[in-house]
Structure 1
Amino acid sequence: MPKDFHPDFGLTAEDYTRHRAGFSPEVVRRLVSLGTEVRERDVVDLGTGTGSLARLFARAGARVTGLDPAAPLLDQARELDREAGVEITYRVATAEETGLPSASFDIVSAGQCWHWFDAPKATVEVRRLLRPGGHVVIAHFDWLPLPGNVVAATEQLINTYNPAWTMGGGTGLYPRWLTDLATEGFSSIETFSFDAGVPYTPQAWIGRIRASAGVGASLAQEKVDKFSAELAGVLRDRFPGDVLHIPHRTWAVVAAKPSAG
């Protein structure tokens, strides 16, 4: 990320809660198939945001703690937990300095956020938090810009309003995270991915984009409003219809704590 680009997702907490699609239960099934059991395990979810990945693990029977530096997002997470009927412990903290006891978790997870961390420091902290035999899980759930599709048109508009945003054109794959883990000695590194379409109404898609780093989390409200109006015009003129089918890719890496340390 550019050093001068520091989005604050707390500014867009409401849109973040309403419009960001969550991780699929298929993530848990894939983890179990790779030998990473979730049920009755202690999990800490770094950069939890509104708790999407944390709730997925809680629903699967894990005891979950969620950390995030943005208190407004944690407030939204608690409300979503009440609606879902799950209990998760939240605290304001960063991935690099969690303040949690060493060797106190079976799984350390990070959903849709590893790119915001100081990776060397965060990886050391993950290693410290894990019990012997524990696993780290880094997961992403990304929209996919394809030639001529609504995602590509949306990303072009984001760049027009916010040239500092450089996260467009993604493939939903993050090989650098494997290097981060291998450098710190993590072993048995495996990845999986699967694609799915997510339906959005035009207004919901506009809300989803407002909740992104390049718009609601980093632009002044006046520019956010102008952006939203212009995106509405793009959708009306180029992608008419009541439902937009947005291609997404889920990708995750799972690795085991080093035997020493």
Structure 2
Amino acid sequence: MKADFGKVAKGYALYRNDLKVDLFETLKVRGITFQGRSVADLGSGTGVLTRMLVEQGAEVTGIDPSAELIREAQLIDSELGETIRYVNRYAEDTDLPGQSFDAVTALRAWHWFDGETVLKEVKRILKPGGDLLIMDSGFVTADPIVQETMGLLKKAIPGRIKPAGRKAGSGQSINSFPVEWFAEWQAHGFELKELYNEDYAVDFTLDTWCERIKTLSWMLHLEESERDGIMDSLKPQLIRLFGDRTYEIGHKLHVVLLKNV
């Protein structure tokens, strides 16, 4: 199952730039740094992680199947004075040179890939001993504002609120990653080094929270006017329960570190 995030590219660029945790400090204490290393960022989207890797001194290539998301990434890069290489291809078929990268990363994207095919491609482009970092992050469902939001969405788009992509077919998970993935990684020659998570919070106004919700994969089948209509129903409900103020929404980052052996 694929999701066309290009339909919400501008909103994705504005409201999915929420990776606030000091990710690279958590990696550094685990022996992973990026200075001078070549990195392929799969499912790079609007370049959130891609730019962070560049700031860490990496030479990064972003790979994404959405030309619209890449255009948004390049607009942001231009505003920041950055020039980053992007490849408009699927992660399963990057057309990148073999054994040419020290690390491969994927943030909030692995569940959209075909597991067997993408692992063969990662194995092909990653140098022996290279790092594969798979990361997921998002708001926690225990947050009262999230619960109210999800309750309304379940009524507005019945049957759509379920784990995204390949996560929907899994009955069990470890640290948010389906148990089946661990066997896939091992079968393709990737050794699990560590699994960890970090809590963080992101501030939203009522409007920016609703714009964030409009970028969810569950909403992509709707026309923009339909997404707006659902948000028009959500806003007064949230104001009544929580007020029109800044909301601090709890988030969690999940990270799995693998080694190409």
TM-score, length basis structure 1:
0.90
The counterpart of 2:193, out of the listed 189, 196, 215, is 189
User: In structure 1, which of residues 201, 208, 211 is the aligned counterpart of residue 212 of structure 2?
Assistant: 208
Show the counterpart of 2:249: 246
Deviation of 1:241 after TM superposition, in Å, equals 3.3
Given that residues 34 and 53 in structure 2 are in contact (C-alpha distance below 8 angstroms), is that contact kept between their aligned partners in structure 1? yes
Whichever residue aligns with residue 101 of structure 1, its letter is P
- Using a 3 Å threshold, how does the CA distance of structure 1 residues 171 and 142 change in structure 2: closer, same or farther? farther
Matched residue, 2:183: 179
Shift of 1:238: 1.5
Could you tell me which runs of 5 or more consecutive residues in structure 1 were left unpaired when the two chains were aligned.
Answer: none
Instruction: State which of 3, 9, 12 in structure 2 corresponds to 1:13.
Output: 9
Which amino acid in the other structure matches residue 199 of structure 1?
Answer: D
Distance 1:18 1:103 in 2: 34
Cα distance change on mapping 1:199 and 1:25 into 2, 3 Å: closer
Please name the residue that 2:146 is paired with: 151
Percent of matched pairs sharing the same residue: 31
The partner residue of 1:50 within 43, 46, 63 is 46
Distance 1:30 1:155, change over 3 A: same
C-alpha distance 172-254 of structure 1, shift in aligned 2 (>3 A): closer
Structure 1 segments, 4+ long, off by >4 Å, are 168-172
* Alpha-carbon separation, structure 1, partners of 2:85 and 2:35: 17
Write the distance in 2 (CA, Å) between the matches of 1:241 and 1:231.
12
- Please list the CA deviations of residues 129-180 of structure 1 after superposition, one character each: whole Å capped at 9, or x if unmatched: 1012210001111100116x01111122222232234128999722534333
In structure 2, give the amino acid aligned to 1:181: W
1:22-37 equivalence runs, <5 A: 22-24=18-20, 26-37=22-33
- In 2, Cα distance between equivalents of 1:21 and 1:82: 16
The match for 1:142 among 138, 141, 146 is 138
Structure 2 unaligned runs (5+)? none
CA distance in 2, matches of 1:73, 1:165: 24
Contact 1:144/1:172, CA 8 A, preserved across alignment: no
Look up the SS of the partner of 2:9 in the other structure: helix
Contact 2:91 2:118 in 1 (8 A): yes
Contact 1:158–1:214 (Cα < 8 Å) also in 2: no
Separation in structure 1 between the aligned mates of residue 18 and residue 174 of structure 2, nearest angstrom: 18
| TM-score, normalised by the number of residues in structure 2 | 0.90
Alpha-carbon distance, 1:190 to partner? 0.8
> CA–CA distance in 1 between the matches of 2:236 and 2:3?
26
Q: Which amino acid aligns with 1:207?
A: E
* 201-210 or 237-246, larger mean C-alpha shift: 237-246
Displacement of 1:182 in angstroms is 1.7
Alignment-derived partner of residue 227 in structure 1: 230
Once residues 155 and 88 of structure 2 are traced to their aligned partners in structure 1, the CA distance between those partners, rounded to angstroms, is 33
Per-residue CA distance 1:106-128 (angstroms, 9 max, x = gap): 01010001111111111111111
Contact 1:123/1:184 (<8 A) preserved: yes
Q: Does 1:128 align with 2:124?
A: yes
Letter in 2 for 1:43: V
Distance 1:175 1:218 in 2: 25
Residue in structure 2 matched with residue 91 of structure 1 by the alignment: 87
Residues 146, 84 of structure 1: alpha-carbon distance in 2 compared, 3 angstrom cutoff? same
Taking only aligned residues, the RMSD between alpha carbons, in angstroms, comes to: 2.0
User: Secondary structure at 1:252's aligned position in 2?
Assistant: strand
Residue equivalent to 2:97? 101
CA–CA distance in structure 2, aligned partners of residues 241 and 221 of structure 1: 23
**SS state of the match for residue 230, structure 2?**
helix
- Count of aligned pairs between the two proteins: 252
